[in-house]
Amino acid sequence: MINRRQENYHRLQVVLKWMLAVNLLLAGIALVLFIRNISLSRQVSELTAQLEADMPSFGKPTEGSSPEDQRTEAQTEAPTPGENESQSQATGADSTETSTEPEPTEPETTPPATEEAVDHEKRNFIVCLDAGHGGPGGKGAISTLDGRYESHDTLKLMLAVRDALQSYGDVTVVVTRDTDVEVDNGVRAQIANDANADVFVSFHRNSNVAGDRGGIEGWIHSSNPSDSREVGERILAAMEKVGVVHNYGVKSGTWDEPEANYKIIRLAEMPAVLLEVGYLNFQRDNDLFDRYYEEYAEAAAGAICGWLRDTVVR
Ligand SMILES: [Zn+2]
């Protein structure tokens, strides 16, 4: 009897345990379903927010979250990187006319482009070259030895310097004349000023009546500006290496008046030097000029370019 009651009690215990297990299982399933339902509803609200961001007219009253929630979600979701990229690609591909959509993409592309542009342009120097005298009324000095005109020699040398400078790639050359024409000295300086040149170099040939003097020299403003002196000395030193009778160096003012200035030097608003490349009445200077004018030109161009790269920051 006792055994039978104990057996029944035991069976009841087993049934109760099973019922508890089934209840726990059902509760677990219910919990999983509940969590899935929450994530699904979140996905739905995210999707509606995205759709609203794409199309503002997309259904305002939706199930689930309130309109206020949707608006804040739409605002935070709109600038995600993936969405912007696909938008920019799409607008770039089909049309450029859509004025409202490309706005967010512009700040991303513009800064690197301008940095690159600045990098390329920052060392593009401007040199103004001047061939002294010119034209029927501006022959300059005339050689007592062979009748040559100063204006012809200066043009020949200046054109060779121009060609040599242009081969450097980072130099833009402006000239006051490239044919045998007369140009006012004020206009020559104005050409250099208008071009915003970094340096102004005027080529001349020297002369003295006695014909007993040979060599090269440079003239700068009477205030003796150091930058004009520096570029002038560099050019003369480079020409001296090619071969000259003598290098008299760079002087300020003019031959007879140290306080006066040659007009082009006075009016030029940048470092400026006037070069006298040998004496027309000195045979050795004429021989050197005719034989080495291209080497003088290359030397001058190299010196000018070197000075620009060392001292001028654009
Ligand atoms: Zn001259």
Residue 125 C-alpha to ligand 1 middle, in angstroms?
A: 26
Residue 262 C-alpha to ligand 1 middle, in angstroms?
A: 10
CA dist., res. 204 & res. 200, Å (int) = 13
Average pLDDT, integer, range 110-128: 59
Neighbours of 275 (CB within 10 A): 26
Q: Please check whether residue 201 is in contact with residue 154, taking contact to mean a CB–CB distance below 8 angstroms.
A: no
Enumerate the β-bridge partners of residue 203. 131, 275
Q: Residue 38's pLDDT is what?
A: 58
String of DSSP letters for the chain: -HHHHHHHHHHHHHHHHHHHHHHHHHHHHHHHHHHHHHHHHHHHHHHHHHHHHH-TTS-SS-SSS-HHHHHHHHHHHTT-HHHHHHHHHHHHHH-S---SSSGGGHHHHHHHHHHHHHHHHTT-EEEEEEE-S-STT---SB-TTT--BHHHHHHHHHHHHHHHHHTTSSEEEEES-SSS----HHHHHHHHHHTT-SEEEEEEEE--SS-----EEEEE-TT--HHHHHHHHHHHHHHHHH--S-EEEEEES-SS-TT---HHHHH-SS-EEEEEEEETT-HHHHHHHHHHHHHHHHHHHHHHHHHHHHH---
Residue 210 C-alpha to ligand 1 middle, in angstroms?
A: 17
Residue 101 C-alpha to ligand 1 middle, in angstroms?
A: 64
Neighbours of 300 (CB within 10 A): 27
Residue 199 C-alpha to ligand 1 middle, in angstroms?
A: 19
Q: Residue 39's pLDDT is what?
A: 59
Q: Residue 7's pLDDT is what?
A: 79
Neighbours of 243 (CB within 10 A): 11
| Average pLDDT over the chain, rounded to an integer | 79
Average pLDDT, integer, range 43-72: 46
Each residue's pLDDT tens digit, 257-289: 888 999 999 999 999 999 999 999 999 999 999
Residue 311 C-alpha to ligand 1 middle, in angstroms?
A: 28
For the cut 80, the answer to whether the pLDDT of residue 65 exceeds it is: no
Q: HSE, CB side, 13 Å, CA atoms: give it for residue 68.
A: 0
Average pLDDT, integer, range 141-158: 98
Average pLDDT, integer, range 189-201: 98
Q: Residue 37's pLDDT is what?
A: 63
Residue 279 C-alpha to ligand 1 middle, in angstroms?
A: 11
Domain boundaries along the sequence of the chain: 2-96, 120-311
Q: Residue 1's pLDDT is what?
A: 52
For the cut 60, the answer to whether the pLDDT of residue 207 exceeds it is: yes
CA dist., res. 170 & res. 192, Å (int) = 18
Which is more confidently placed, 112 or 282? 282
Q: Residue 75's pLDDT is what?
A: 39
For the cut 50, the answer to whether the pLDDT of residue 158 exceeds it is: yes
Average pLDDT, integer, range 141-166: 98
How far, CA to CA in Å, does 147 sit from each of 93, 94, 139, 140? 71, 72, 11, 12
Each residue's pLDDT tens digit, 285-312: 999 999 999 999 999 999 999 999 999 8
pTM for the structure as a whole? 0.62
Residue 207 C-alpha to ligand 1 middle, in angstroms?
A: 9
Average pLDDT, integer, range 235-256: 96
> Ligand 1 (ion): which residues have CB within 5 A?
132, 140, 204
**Range name among 27-31, 89-93, 111-115 with the lowest pLDDT average:** 89-93
Q: Residue 49's pLDDT is what?
A: 53
Residue 204 C-alpha to ligand 1 middle, in angstroms?
A: 4
CA-based nearest residue to 221, from 160, 177, 184, 262: 262
Q: Residue 41's pLDDT is what?
A: 58
Q: Residue 237's pLDDT is what?
A: 98
Average pLDDT, integer, range 206-221: 96
Q: Please check whether residue 221 is in contact with residue 189, taking contact to mean a CB–CB distance below 8 angstroms.
A: no
For the cut 70, the answer to whether the pLDDT of residue 186 exceeds it is: yes
Top CATH class, 120-311: alpha beta
Confidence of residue 9 (pLDDT cuts 50, 70, 90): confident
Q: Please check whether residue 280 is in contact with residue 148, taking contact to mean a CB–CB distance below 8 angstroms.
A: yes
